Amino acid sequence: MRYNNLFKPVTIGKINLKNRIAFSSVGIGSYNSDGTITDENISFVRARTKEIGLIITTAAASSYRYGKLKFIGAYDDVFISGLSEFARAGRCNGAKVFLQLFVMGGPNILADDLFLDVVPWVPSTDLSIYKNWTGRNKPKELKKNNIKELIDDYVQSAGRAKEAGFDGVEIKANEDYLLAAFLTPYFNKRTDEYGGSLDNMLRFPVEIIRGIKKLCGSDYPIGFKYNVYYDSPEGDGVNLDMGIKIGELIANEGIAYLHITPYGRNNVPYSLMEPTIMPNQYQPGNNVIPFAEHLKASVRNTLIMVASGILKPDEADRFIGEGKADLVAIARALIADEYWAQNAKDNKRFRPCTKCYVCLHEATKGDILKCSVNPDVLAKRKSGPDTVNTAKKVIVVGGGPGGIMSALTASMRGHAVTLYEKNEYIGGGLVPGSMPEIKYEFLDLLHYYREELRESKVKVITGFKVNQRFIKKINPDVLIIAIGAEPLNINIPGRDHDNQIDVFTAIHNADSYKNKKIIIVG
C-alpha cells in the first residue's frame, strides 16, 4: 500500500520534518536517582528513529525545588551533557528531536503514591478532592511567587535543551499535571491573575512560552500538549468549545504545533474515561480525531498533532489526507514494533499492538517498560538478534505465541528449529482469543505470527503430539516446552459436571451450543 500523505514533508516553525510521524513521549521506567539519562532511555529512542519525522522525548522535570522526581532532569546545567547524548541518539536517522518539559504537580494521586517526596502543588486547595485526600503528601496551593519561580524554571530548562542540541521543546500541559490543572476550571478556583477568566487561566503557560522565546529566540520551536477535552463528573471540565478556545489563544503565541489529547478525572482508570487518552481493546481507537477536526477548522495558523490510539499507518495516512490532522503522534505502535514507520514506508508487515495495557500497567507501577508482543522492547541491539557460530538442533513444543516467538528467535539466530503443535492449526490460545469481533487486534497478531513463520526457516509440524519417547529419538540439543497455560477452573459447585466447559471449548465449538440454555460465569 502506498501512503500518499503520511510521508510528506512538513515544516514546523522554521524546521523541516521529513514526514508527518511523531514518536510521542514514552516513559520507560528507567531513571537514575540523580535525574541523569540512562542507557536504556538512549537506546530505546535510538531504536525508534527509522523514518520518524519528530521524536518527543520522555518528560523531563523542569523544576527541582517543587519535589524531587523519578524522571530525567533538565533543571540544572549538570544535565546538559547527558541531554546532548540523548538529542544525538534521536537525530541519528534524520529525525528532529524535542525535549518534553513538565512539572509533576496537579491532582496526581499516582505521583503521590510512586514518589514519596513529591508534594502535589496545585492551583487551588479549596476542593473536596483535597479535603478528602488519601495520598501521603497533602497538596499545597501555589503562591504567586511560586508560579514566577516555576516559569523561570521552565524557561531555563528550555535554554538547556537548546544548548544540548534539541531542535525544540514541547510543554506538557495535559492529563492531570500542574499546567493542565491550571487550564481546568474544576481545579483552578484562583481569584488572582492566574484564575477566573480563560485568559487568566492561560497566563501561566503563556508566560512560559514568552519567556522561552525571549531566551531561546523567537524562531526556537515550541510545541504545546494539552487536554482539548476534559471529562469531569462534577462539572467544570473542559468542553470542546473551551478546548478550541485554549488552542486558539495558545496558537496566537506563535507556537510550532498543538498536540491534543482527551482526558478525564483521575479517580477513574484510563479504561473508563470517555473519551480516553489511551483506548484499550474494548474501546474505539482514534477518538481524538473529531476534536482535531473541529480544532483545525478554527485554528489555521498552527499545525495540529493528534494522539490517543492511532495504531495503523493507513488510518494515520487517511486522517492527514482528509485534513483532520497535520501530524500523528505514535506511542504504543512503536513500542510494539520499533520499525513501525519504516515498515509502513517499505510496505512491509509490522508487529501489531493489541491495546492490552501491559505497557501502561508497568508504568503505573513504576516498573521498567514491558510489552506483551515485543520481548525486545528495551534491547540495545542495533539491528536484528545476535547470530551464533555453531547452529544447534532446537525443538519447540507448542505453537502458541510463546512457542512461535521462541522458534522465530532461535531461527533468526541461526539455529535449526522445528516447531511441533498437537492441533492442526498454529496460534494456540490466540485462535479462540481472536474470534470475538471486538478483539480484531488479536486477529491481526495471529496473522502476523503465521506470516512470520511462513517466511522463516522454521519447520512447522502440526497435528502431532510430542511425547517423551519421541524426544529421546530425535535427541535435540535444545528442547523448548511452550505448551501454554490452561484456563482456570472456577471453584464453584457443579464445576465437575459434564456440561461445564471452558471458554476455549465454547468458542471452538460454538455451533454445538445453539438453542441451548447457557450460563456464563465471568
- DSSP letter string, 282-334: TS-S-TTHHHHHHHHHH--SSEEEE-SS---HHHHHHHHHTTS-SEEEESHHH
Please say which residue of 317, 332, 365 terminates a domain: 365
Query: Residue 31 sits in which domain range?
Result: 10-365
Q: Are residues 481 and 517 in the same domain?
A: yes
Q: Are residues 151 and 288 in the same domain?
A: yes
Q: Are residues 395 and 351 in the same domain?
A: no
270 contact partners, CB below 8 Å, separation of at least 6: 276, 277, 278, 280, 357, 360
pLDDT value for 441: 92
Q: Are residues 30 and 157 in the same domain?
A: yes
Q: Are residues 313 and 447 in the same domain?
A: no
Alpha carbon distance 112, 245 (integer Å): 31
pLDDT value for 443: 95
340 in a structural domain? yes
Q: Are residues 314 and 460 in the same domain?
A: no
Please say which residue of 327, 348, 365 terminates a domain: 365
Question: Cα-flanking dihedrals φ and ψ of residue 462, to 5°?
Answer: -105, 165
Name the residue among 409, 503, 500 with its Cα closest to residue 456: 409
pLDDT value for 383: 59
Per residue of the chain (522 residues), give pLDDT as tens.
Answer: 789 899 999 999 899 999 999 999 998 989 898 899 999 999 999 999 999 999 999 999 999 876 556 789 999 999 999 999 999 999 999 999 999 999 988 776 555 555 556 677 899 998 888 887 777 778 889 999 999 999 999 999 999 999 999 999 999 999 988 999 999 999 999 999 999 999 999 999 999 999 999 999 999 999 999 999 999 878 899 999 999 999 999 999 999 999 999 998 766 777 777 788 888 888 878 889 999 999 999 998 999 999 878 999 999 999 999 999 999 999 999 999 999 999 999 999 999 999 999 998 877 777 899 999 999 898 875 556 678 899 999 999 999 999 999 999 999 999 999 999 999 999 999 998 898 888 889 999 999 999 999 999 999 999 999 999 999 999 999 999 999 887 777 777 877 788 888 888 888 788 888 899 988 877
Please report, for the chain, how many H helices and E strands are present, in that order.
19, 18
DSSP β-ladder status, 10-12 and 257-264: unpaired
397 in a structural domain? yes
- Is-contact 36 79, C-beta < 8 A? yes
Q: Are residues 355 and 404 in the same domain?
A: no
Q: Are residues 435 and 473 in the same domain?
A: yes
Alpha carbon distance 128, 404 (integer Å): 52
- Is-contact 101 154, C-beta < 8 A? yes
Please say which residue of 331, 365, 399 terminates a domain: 365
b/e map 356-386, b = 16+ CB within 10 Å: bbbbbebbeeeeebbbbbbeebbeeeeeeee
Q: Are residues 519 and 437 in the same domain?
A: yes
Q: Are residues 323 and 421 in the same domain?
A: no
383 in a structural domain? no
CATH code of the domain in which 396 resides: 3.40.50.720
344 in a structural domain? yes
CATH code of the domain in which 271 resides: 3.20.20.70
Q: Count structural domains, the chain.
A: 2
Q: Is the pTM of this model over 0.85?
A: yes
399 in a structural domain? yes
Q: Are residues 396 and 360 in the same domain?
A: no
- Is-contact 171 225, C-beta < 8 A? yes
506 in a structural domain? yes
Q: Are residues 334 and 397 in the same domain?
A: no
Residue with cell 555453531: 390
152 in a structural domain? yes
434 in a structural domain? yes
- Is-contact 186 237, C-beta < 8 A? yes
pLDDT value for 493: 81
pLDDT value for 208: 98
pLDDT value for 506: 84
Tell whether omega for the bond before 290 is within 30 degrees of 0, i.e. cis: no
